[in-house]
Amino acid sequence: MIPAQFDYVRPAALHEALQILVDRQGDAKILSGGYSLLPLLKLRLASPALLVDIRDIDGLDDIVETTNGLRIGGRATHRQIHENPVVIAGYPLLVDAAGGIGDPQVRNWGTIGGSCAHADPSSDWPAVLIATNASIVLHSVSGSRTVPARGFFLDTFQTAIEPTELLTEVIIPRAPRPSGAAYAKLERRAGDFATVGVAAQLSLGADGRISAAGIGLTAVAEAPFAATGAEAALVGHEPNEATFQAAGIAAAAESRPGTDSHGPIEYKRAMVKEMVVRALRSAATRAQAQR
């Protein structure tokens, strides 16, 4: 399969890339790792007039921990995140999710920014960013703005990014300790997109009850979303099996899956419940370990 014709530029600096987006508004598409965009181009589902390759722009793949939390550059690959010592030490949810994306070659080149900007309704990172209440930094020639992940994924392949903006960074806040988080993914084949993906994060209060909860679901709606009903079923309760089951039932009820080759709606709802419970068990175990 051959993509339609396009022009290609590889700016050396962020401001150049942003100016190109203004000059070629609506015509230009950012190329990061390419593992989402190139298949689209080859299938001719997208045919931008210009590709702006951000490969040469310095500083877009940094992973640093600050007082605000973990900042991950948009061009950081899934592998860079998966193998980063800071991530391994403090963000097991990210390790879970990154290690299950695609296959080794995809993880070598695919990036978190590309994945989020592409916004496949079955991709893994959006659920993680939603569960952790992360924010997404968008740059344009007029400056930058920060969009909460919970308001970023608008619809299938639709995000809050304007045509003149470039996703430069995601910021994952540090959860109050003790806390734990985990990603549970049901996939039909190794390396497949999720049939159901659940990111769960729990914080525990001094009384041992759940003081804060984040649940991000992927692959079971038109876009990844926050299971706020499940979150409400968790907060204030003991982190036990009955609580997790109640949260799973709530998450299944607020899912909007479609029937496809991964299975019928009823099956997917049942799997939402099961995977939410599994993610919560892991998250709670990790949270207890911090007490």
With CB under 8 A, what is the number of residues at the site for other proteins? 28
Please state the closest distance from residue 191 (CB atom) to other proteins, in A.
5
Q: Judge whether 284 and 276 are in contact, CB under 8 Å.
A: no
Q: Which is nearer to other proteins, 88 or 154 (CB)?
A: 88
CA torsion 142-148-153-158 (nearest 10°) is -10
Which residues neighbour 143 within 8 Å (Cβ) at sequence distance 6 or greater?
none
| Cβ neighbourhood burial of 265 (10 Å; 0-12, 13-18, 19+) | middle
Q: Does 4 bind other proteins (CB under 8 A)?
A: yes
| Nearer to other proteins (CB atom), residue 31 or residue 134 | 31
SS3 215: strand
Six-digit token pair at 44? Answer: 């001719």
Closest CB to other proteins among 39 and 229? 39
Binding-site string for other proteins from residue 109 to residue 148, where x marks contact by CB under 8 A and - marks none: x---------------------------------------
Taken in order 280, 134, 151, 128, the sign of the CA dihedral is negative
Count of all residues that appear for the chain in the document = 291
CA dihedral 200, 205, 210, 214 (to 10 degrees): -30
**Considering beta carbons, is residue 108 or 288 the nearer one to other proteins?**
108
Residue 17 touching other proteins (CB under 8 A): no
CA distance 64 to 84: 10
Q: Select the residue interacting with other proteins from 27, 53, 65, 222 (CB under 8 A).
A: 53
Which residues from 171-190 bind other proteins, rule CB under 8 A? 190
User: Of the two residues 39 and 148, which places its CB atom closer to other proteins in the complex?
Assistant: 39
Joined together, the tokens standing for residue 99 give: 């290690």
Report the distance separating Cα 93 and Cα 78, nearest Å. 13
User: Is 45 near other proteins (CB under 8 A)?
Assistant: no
Going residue by residue from 24 to 43, which x/- string records binding to other proteins, judged by CB under 8 A?
A: -------x--xx--xx-xx-
Q: Does 46 bind other proteins (CB under 8 A)?
A: no
75 to 114: interface string for other proteins, x by CB under 8 A = ---------------------------xxxxx-xx-----
User: Using CA of residue 269, residue 37, residue 115, residue 226, what is the dihedral sign?
Assistant: negative
By CB under 8 A, residue 261 contacts other proteins: no
Binding site for other proteins (CB under 8 A): 1-8, 10, 31, 34-35, 38-39, 41-42, 51, 53, 55, 102-106, 108-109, 190-191
